[in-house]
Amino acid sequence: MTLGPPLTVLGGLTFDLPLTGARGLTSGLSPKGPSPFYVINEVIPMRFPVALHTDDGKSYGVTVPDIPGCFSAGDNEDEALDNAKEAILGHLEVLAELGNDIPSARPIAQHRSNADYEGAVWGFVEVDITPFLGKAEKINITVPSLVLRQIDRYVQDHPEAARSRSAFLTEAALEHMRKAHQVESPGG
């Protein structure tokens, strides 16, 4: 994941924001012109590490370590990775329907010591997790004015990283939770 320059706000809290994925933003319209309310059309990518195994060097089995029970296969590496993406999307859809959390993708290094993946060839499958996050909800939050100005300035100066306050805060929260998950479960 490509990260933009860190943003440090009041109190020394630092956010590293991902710069990957396509993003769009549509301003709401009213009879008086553009509205300050935005409809976010975000793509929030997550790269899941996958372990590819083969016995014959031709067909491959795929395991997605961060999504328990998520397996796939293919007649070659490319097909195996394509099928793994479909398996990941299917699992995430079921998890979302059941109201379960979407698992965080951890670095490959946290999986290498697991004997189940001995001899695996590692790769990544990137999926858009946005459809599984649920419907956007409007909330009222309190943010110190200095922090809010810094967020607005960052969004204005870095439209490739975040297209709105909402997008910025959503991605910062997801990144913070991803990092916390990695600390809580080192080594897989």
The band of 32, judged by pLDDT with boundaries at 50, 70 and 90, is very low
Judge whether 1 lies within some domain: no
Judge whether 154 lies within some domain: no
Would you call 32 exposed, middle or buried from its count of C-beta atoms within 10 A (0-12, 13-18, 19+)? exposed
Judge whether 100 lies within some domain: yes
122 vs 27: CA distance, rounded Å: 41
The CATH number linked to 60 is 3.30.160.250
Query: What DSSP line would sit under 21-37, residue for residue?
Result: S-EEEEEEEETTEEEEE
102-149 pLDDT, tens per residue?
898 999 999 999 999 999 999 999 999 888 887 778 889 999 999 999
CA angle 123, 73, 85 (to 5 degrees): 55
125 vs 108: CA distance, rounded Å: 12
Judge whether 9 lies within some domain: no
**What's the structural domain count of the chain?**
1
Residue 39 in this model has a pLDDT that exceeds 60: no
Judge whether 110 lies within some domain: yes
Judge whether 29 lies within some domain: no
Residue 76 domain boundaries: 49-129
Q: Which residue in 126, 160, 129 sits closest to 22, CA to CA? A: 160
